[in-house]
Structure 1
């Protein structure tokens, strides 16, 4: 099929490359010429495992191309809209500027009977409004909402082998076109859920809200554990054996971040207030507050370990991205901790395998080291805040040999406390 993908950021670039892998003829459209030039050369403009190979394969095969000219999408049978929905400046709601811009640009281009598919995460009710917007513009294109469920670091696999496909449609023909797009995936047995616009929109926001709640729940238990002497990791293991609860995402630590979860739960709360159901998701305010408290707790532990002041004390911060296998530092708890410590006068030296340049663009005042050894050398305290494999596998004896004093805060509970204490470290975890 002929497919266009409007918006070639994280979601759009991965989706475009994956659709070409499935055999479709794909054109990606974006307003950023520099980004388009890199993608057209088969280069990923951000770090995502597996994406560079997928891009090169698509471009070299001729099935994948990129442009800044939306008119080149005119022949597409299906148009995927994958633009960002950031948090509004100074508010909790979602900024739909890019979504509206994409639909306004597509309206005169999309052929009658073609399908426009929203993939962006939007407040419930947005699709219905966009259907009216298309009609008012005289467009005869169909509309569907097909939310994404990508995990950064696993986005390629999540697109090619999703755990479910959700179609929000108001027309049977829209579902048929999506079936044609995803035929190879459906043949492999992926579950397919066909529903209305509102439910499809809520599937994404509800999933993120539930995940955020689960993470904040175990972090709330960590707060209790810290003052009672309990161990939150053992607690999570024990309750995780209950099939009704499950062990996944019950890892206490510094909390969640990134470009999706924090802004999506805030936007969900804001939308609930708009429709008169603020009380239904009022608990998400506490979910957000618990999450932010964990960052402050790491700073408190640093102050405790360094005798009440971090001023001019060298602290190695291991990790800058919000999670491993990504270069994304948006709303990163790790970068936030580094900045907070720096703000208290600490001599912070931060490092990350992939996130240094993105972090430097946001916080040029921080000192950065190319690797963990350079960051740790001479440090009085190490703070592990992103659980990259290379940090999880650090040798405690060798690490202690690099530092001036052997102190470590395990902000992800990713290390074995006994091994680090045996090596002479003063070890602090969260809720341990």
Structure 2
């Protein structure tokens, strides 16, 4: 099987408009969660989020494009441009046919949907823009990235709630490893910080009104975020032949299904996915130095994830560093695994472990080294990124320091 490496990365999120600023904010423990600025915010009980403030779509796209691009598509295109530019790849000829796009999202064009429900139900209008369907469909971002960069190979969208990005990246990895593609644009995005999106999450009663504190005894829920993370996955020999800069190697991927409950996570299901990623990567658990946890800040997720990690890693769990960057940028739902992979790249390339900020008090059931509040310098050879979704759908990716 072919080896797979990452040769480009791009992002836009509450911490930064590119990878450099995002990783710098992670290293400094910056909190990107703030008061929401949107219509009818006074009708919400949750009024904070990892929102990208002062974003002006007209700075990046023309009127015709804006008519076609929902906010989640815009974020994806911006992140993809950064990633592809860094990779140095130009998709023409045979390479264009051997390169595709696999992206994750949960809500897709939810902002467009929300706005047009208002138009029809609240404003009483009987007509909407003719491009509403292609603007809100979940595969819109994938399609537009494909068109903008001439990517003519295998392309599709994955929607598995909070594991969408990890599932998408895992599929991209599998395709290159198996020989179906030479390069894949992959990652995910979400723009669910609209009135309807937040109101729906409020109904679940898992949201915090004052901040995200993963693994902390005083935690009281998750906080939503928005943005995108996009990467160029490339076949190693192809990257080596053109002397490309390699950010990290993707060495393993695993997914599992709890098959038990639509919202409550399962230790067994999470543990199977983590253990499966180690097997797929053909590494011993002692080689893992850092885990970017799913770490939502809810009691159910945090305790279950910690129990699963303890089961898989046994005595080595005491040597692990495991942090949740959701404490800084919020939970990007379908896009969260993609943005969080940037913390894994930072750990592997820079030797800087992103902290779990807002940490106040140890929870005995989450008594791991969660890198509380302050980033840490440490050499890491292998990192894992966990994602566990509603519906019991789990996806774990393993990365190794660049060869």
More strand by share: 2
TM-score normalized with structure 2 length: 0.28
Higher Rg: 1
TM-score normalized with structure 1 length: 0.27
- Higher-RCO chain (CA-CA 8 Å, sequence separation at least 6): 2
